[in-house]
Chains A and B, each alone.
Chain A
């Protein structure tokens, strides 16, 4: 048991809530619904009442507690410092323990739990996806053909033809490595956005960093955690930990906000009552978001020119979860020619929140509409972010709104800047 699945351990968090309502000002879901049950205060009080036995574990209660982006905007704004996300997760877990998971989720998570099965399913999916997804060349993306639990309107990226792990050897070594980094690819970068993964590797190698991509690594497990299946999440954490313990490295790097937080914060909590706890803490101390890492190792600022106007979107679990927001901006600003136009409320949730966007598509799009409007107002030609899940949501939102800006990871932009530099250098040497 840990704070993540024992509601009693977060009782103090709940008792701390003054019910002041300050969270109303920042909660994206309250903004849309104007209902008390949607805002942190409501959810904390519900969880508290449930713990005190004042209300039973019902479907309705579960739905209220699932209706949260865990974006932590409330946490950042809470005078009492209530860890609302921890309360929500612990309450979900308590409900799952009491009531069990709905069978559908159970099936999905069983799949996730067996990495080979998940891997197989997704690799098979890649070949069969044309059956289910209609490729739209003008968008470079697909629409689902059938209501396979996904919204028909939703614009999804296709699965990559080759996974990142298939594309690269397990170790990518530059000529004179000064460091060795283990790369946690996460699902999205391995199966879908391999372009992000490729850029991460390029950028690291360009900075003389050796990259290890442990081949057995699998999903971080946080999707199961946010649905209250702490048991599965714990197993996945333990398994990933064992896998990474098999390698030597100076840092563990993640380029997904959630994966990064998993290693830094969730794994030590998930494993805190097990013998692996210390190991989890040790890896947590080495875990870095890619932006953080680049600054820490004094990355090489690119000399090439990238005459783009971009805007930056802060992923919730990076800006509030890990306190990383200056670093990506610093990297972008170090690129010659690049103009960074800040959008309004850059740190406001894009509405993705993992599977929230699958289960509450309409609400997620309403939350996203504010983001899209803010992006539009900047006139940027590209939106840069640091999380593939945000990228997916933003691509969808921008496409639905008929807007053009591309969505890129910071690493992709830096990668292109290095490439532009090389091209310029090549052009110069060719001319001379």
Chain B
């Protein structure tokens, strides 16, 4: 502790128990809590490296933390260890409007980067729902996605270079600013989505794109869930990739409407919120295709005529989670993702699961990329109900994998889904990851217990 204080000073080392409590949780619902021994708030790569050297010397587990908005328990300590909060490393180091890149420290809030680049007519596309609070480091570590994922992809599609501190304090950089960069292993991608288990990210270079000059938002209303689902595949089949294609089921529509009175059709089985963006003339053409496909699938379409109507639509979509959250005390938000064509099947299955376990579940999500967010409204204080929730969640993931999907479209694995990993990757797949982890963090100090378990079946080392 003395040594840590020598690195950080008293101000940026938290040891007081009450304050440490505030680092024993994140946004994940129904996860265990464990008090960290201390919380470090470094301000430079050098300090992070010094901390890691110390941690290695004393064999202390380290839990990197950004804004703590992940939904998978990714930053919750599992055993006595040190939380390293990177929020004070929040400088935008460079904004290169010529090369369309930005280099930032990990604690920069995504929205702050977006505000900064907007002044240059640029856009950093990844926009998770938590964009006003989540940090760049956390979003790279989770490879988070968002509403624009369908057309623009997720975080890992924008990360060009990283500076990383490894478990033993080694600092190294990978990738860079060049658009083409294929030398060696793609270490940049390796660290995207690594959830703090391989190294601590201390600088990030991202690709920016010119902000689209025009966009059009539409609301399509369907009497049958299948029609909505066919519209999704139909639009893409017609070679239009909207920036956003969001689905809300009837339950979500009703809840949102009750919560914010956006004028949504409460009778509809499902609605799609669509937005196409780009060059004005192309937007025109694509919007026409979207309208056409919606009509062919018995959808009624409304086009937002102005910014106010557009804002209203997006407010309605963003209200989905809050609306669910207000229903019951606890909100379990899942992140199962299936291939696009399986969206109808998945939606049906989710409905059955909710009924089977007698749970209130609303489903909405980024339908265009098959990423659904079944959201269960429950009460953490009721053990019997939570038991049913847990069973339902289990079944949701098994169904997703069975349909050729994945455990996570954007939220990561963390603590919550670690046990399902073999389901998706098989034992051999998990073993490959274990070896990578072993090579970079032989003592298992970085975020232990997350993403992959270091205990292969049948025992082995911790």
Known contacts A12-B329, A15-B380, A21-B133: does B18 contact A61 (CB below 8 Å)? yes
Q: Any chain B CB within 8 A of the CB of A18? A: yes
Nearest A-chain residue to B332, judged by Cβ: A18
Quick check: A18 and B29 within 8 Å, CB to CB?
yes
Q: Could you tell me the distance in whole angstroms from the C-beta of B331 to the nearest C-beta in chain A?
A: 5
State A37–B132 Cα separation when bound (angstroms).
Answer: 19
Chain A CB within 8 A of B130 CB: yes
Q: Which of A21, A34, A54, A61 contacts B88 (CB 8 A)?
A: A34
Complex contacts, A21 vs chain B, CB 8 Å: 26-27, 67-69, 130, 133-134
Do A35 and B67 contact each other (CB < 8 Å), given the known contacts A21-B130, A22-B133, A25-B133? Answer: no
- For A12, the chain B residues whose CB sits under 8 A away are 329
* Interface residues of chain B: helix, strand, loop or mixed (majority): loop
- A81 in contact (CB, < 8 A): yes
A21 CA / B27 CA spacing, docked (Å) = 7
Looking at the assembled complex, report how far the CB atom of B28 sits from the nearest CB atom of chain A, in whole angstroms.
8
- The reply to whether the CB of A115 lies closer than 8 angstroms to some CB of chain B is no
For A80, the chain B residues whose CB sits under 8 A away are 322, 325-326, 331
CA separation between A35 and B18, bound complex, in Å?
A: 12
Contact of B17 among A16, A18, A24, A60 (CB under 8 A): A60
Instruction: Judge whether B325 and A18 touch: CB under 8 Å.
Output: yes
Number of interface residues of B (CB under 8 A): 38
| Residues of A contacting B18 in the complex (Cβ-Cβ under 8 angstroms) | 37, 46, 55, 58, 60-61, 63-64
Least Cβ–Cβ distance between A53 and chain B, in angstroms: 13
**Residues of A within 8 A of B (CB-CB), count:** 29
**Chain B positions within 8 Å of A111 at CB level:** none
Given A12-B329, A80-B322: A24 touches B67 (CB 8 Å cut-off): yes
A45 within 8 A of partner (CB): yes
Question: Cβ of B330 < 8 Å from any Cβ of A?
Answer: yes
The answer to whether A60 and B133 touch across the interface, beta carbons within 8 angstroms, is: no
Bound form: Cα–Cα A49–B87 in Å: 24
CB distance from B40 to the nearest CB of A (A): 12
- CB neighbors of B among A374-419 (8 A): none
Q: Do B14 and A35 have beta carbons less than 8 Å apart?
A: yes
CB pair A20 B27 closer than 8 Å: yes
Contact of B130 among A15, A22, A34, A60 (CB under 8 A): A22
- Interface residues in B78-107 by Cβ distance below 8 A to A read 85, 87-88, 90, 107
Complex CA gap A19/B130 in Å reads 12
0/1 string, B9-25, CB within 8 A of A gives 1: 00000101111011101
Contact among A18, A22, A34, A58 with B41 in the assembled complex (CB-CB below 8 Å): A34
How distant is the Cα of A34 from the Cα of B86 in the complex, in angstroms?
A: 10
Q: Nearest residue in B to A81 (C-beta to C-beta)?
A: B326
Of B18, B133, B331, most A-chain CB atoms within 10 Å = B18
Q: How far is the CA of A22 from the CA of B68 in the complex (A)?
A: 10
Q: Indicate whether B180 reaches chain A with its CB closer than 8 angstroms.
A: no
Q: Which residues of B contact A55 (CB under 8 A)?
A: 17-18, 21
Say if the beta carbon of B239 comes within 8 Å of chain A.
no
B417 to chain A, nearest CB (A): 18
- Whether B325 pairs with A79 at a CB distance below 8 angstroms is yes
* Residue B379 lies at the interface, judged by CB distance under 8 Å to chain A: yes
Interface string of B59-81 (1 = CB under 8 A from A): 00000000111000000000000
Residue A157, interface by CB 8 Å: no
Q: Contact: A16 with B21, CB < 8 Å?
A: no
Assess whether A16 is in contact with B329, with CB atoms less than 8 Å apart. Answer: yes
| Complex CA distance for A64 and B21, rounded to whole angstroms | 11
**Residue A321 CB within 8 A of the other chain:** no
In the bound complex, CA of A234 to CA of B69 (Å): 39
Measured between beta carbons, the chain A residues less than 8 angstroms from B27 are 18-21
B21 near A79 with CB under 8 A, answer no
- Tell me whether A46 and B130 are in contact (CB under 8 A): no
A216: Cβ under 8 A from any B Cβ: no
Give 1 or 0 for each of B300-328: 1 = CB within 8 Å of chain A CB: 00000000000000000000011001100
Least Cβ–Cβ distance between B180 and chain A, in angstroms: 37
Given contacts A20-B27, A81-B322, 10 further A-B contacts (CB under 8 A): A15-B330, A18-B29, A19-B68, A25-B109, A25-B111, A35-B41, A36-B19, A60-B16, A63-B18, A79-B322
A to B CB contacts below 8 Å, 28 in the list? A12-B329, A15-B329, A15-B330, A15-B380, A16-B329, A18-B27, A19-B68, A20-B27, A20-B325, A21-B68, A21-B133, A22-B130, A22-B132, A34-B85, A34-B90, A34-B107, A35-B14, A35-B41, A45-B21, A49-B21, A54-B21, A60-B16, A60-B19, A63-B18, A64-B19, A79-B326, A80-B325, A80-B331
Binding site for A on B (CB under 8 A): 14, 16-19, 21-23, 25-29, 41, 67-69, 85, 87-88, 90, 107, 109, 111, 130, 132-134, 321-322, 325-326, 329-331, 379-381
